[in-house]
Each structure stands twice: as structure tokens, then as C-alpha cells.
């Protein structure tokens, strides 16, 4: 199980990378647009922070345009992964990108049928959106489990990225579902770090230590 950070903020990515727990980064045009920076410059900066896969999403809705963008993205850094939407034109683009040996992540996957098509077309990764499925009354993590089981049954090499993760419990569920990767916002990563019993235990250790030091100092004063 690997963790990717879903972010376009260099400060968040650096902090997460310094913890030694993230293996890659996923971005999208919305995340970069919120930063109000040049798309290429920000992606190249992120690729210098992490050595693992960095997913960069195409903007075109036509296969030819997707391939053109993907070829450009691939020149930015060796660890760029091209995100392609799960639409008919996206599948067409996958065929060409596989021939060009450009690695891909098929995004906005919401069904097992879509995941199967993406894998057969040659996607390196697929990203089922768990949180968005939950929002409309479906079990997003059940879909992740179905995709994982199908890929395993047919020896498909495509890896499953549990995406649209909303809270730490989603990460636990992704583990149980067998996802290869969970891509998480920085806030979720911070949430994974904390437990009230850990905080209480640390405080008790500190209190005990200070109490022992205080007793020793009083003995020395006598």
C-alpha cells in the first residue's frame, strides 16, 4: 500500500515528503488553478520535490489534443504520469500513449466497466473516485474492492488508486479493499498522524519526567 499526496502546494508536498511516507503526488487543473501559478512551472517544481510518480491531467477533450499535451508533459520530468479522463476520446488516446510508452492514470472512474476498459486499453493506473460516489449514495470503497479483485483475477497490471479520499477512515477502508495506492489531501495525512491516546500518552510521559526532575532537584537542595 502506497500513499500519494493530492495537492499542488509545494509547502504541503515538501512537508509530507520530509515525513518519508508519500510515494508520489496527484494533481489536477483545479488544484493548480487555485494556486494562481503557471501550470508547467508548478508541475516541474513538484517533480523536483518528489522522485515518485506525479500525475498531470490533460485539458483537451479530444484524443489528438490529449496525445499532444501528454507528449509535452512527458518532457517536463521523467516522473510525470499523464492523467486522462475516462471518456471515449480518453480511451482512444490511451492506445497512442501506450505505443509512445507514456505512463497514464485514467481518472474519474465510477464503475467496474470503466475500470476494465481502462486496463484493457493499457492504463498504468486507474483512479476510482470514492468520495464522489459516497456523495450520491453509492459505496465508493466497494467499487475499489471490485476493481482490485477483477484485476487480480485476470492478472491485469494496472494499479488502483483510491481517489477522492475525504477522511482517515477512507484510508483504512482502502487498505481493506486492497487498493495499491490511496491519494490523500494534506489534511487527511495530518489526521492519520493523530490519536487522542497517543497525545495523552506523550503528555503523561512528559508530566512524569518533569515530576521526577522536580523531585530530584528538591533532594539536591536539601
Q: Which residues are catalytic?
A: 83
Q: Give the cell for residue 150.
A: 477483477
Q: 80-85 and 54-57 as β-strands: parallel, antiparallel, unpaired?
A: parallel
Amino acid at each position: 500500500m502506497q500513499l500519494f499526496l493530492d495537492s499542488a502546494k509545494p509547502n504541503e508536498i515538501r512537508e509530507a515528503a520530509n515525513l518519508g511516507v508519500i510515494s508520489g503526488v496527484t494533481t489536477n487543473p483545479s488544484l493548480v488553478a487555485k494556486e494562481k501559478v503557471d501550470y508547467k512551472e508548478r508541475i516541474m517544481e513538484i517533480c523536483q520535490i518528489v522522485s515518485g510518480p506525479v500525475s498531470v491531467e490533460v485539458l483537451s477533450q479530444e484524443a489528438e489534443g490529449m496525445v499532444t499535451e501528454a507528449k509535452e508533459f512527458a518532457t517536463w520530468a521523467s516522473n510525470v504520469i499523464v492523467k486522462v479522463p475516462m471518456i471515449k476520446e480518453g480511451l482512444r488516446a490511451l492506445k497512442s500513449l501506450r505505443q509512445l510508452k507514456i505512463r497514464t492514470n485514467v481518472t474519474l472512474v465510477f464503475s467496474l466497466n470503466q475500470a476494465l476498459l481502462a486496463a484493457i486499453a493499457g492504463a498504468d493506473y486507474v483512479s476510482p473516485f470514492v468520495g464522489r460516489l459516497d456523495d450520491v449514495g453509492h459505496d465508493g470503497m466497494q467499487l475499489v474492492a471490485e476493481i482490485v479483485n477483477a484485476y487480480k483475477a485476470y492478472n491485469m497490471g494496472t494499479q488502483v488508486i483510491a481517489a477522492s479520499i475525504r477522511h482517515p477512515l477512507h484510508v483504512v477502508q482502502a487498505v481493506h479493499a486492497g487498493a495499491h495506492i490511496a491519494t490523500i489531501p494534506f489534511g487527511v495525512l495530518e489526521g492519520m498522524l493523530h490519536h487522542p491516546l497517543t497525545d495523552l500518552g506523550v503528555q503523561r510521559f512528559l508530566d512524569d519526567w518533569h515530576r521526577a526532575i522536580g523531585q530530584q532537584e528538591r533532594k539536591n537542595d536539601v
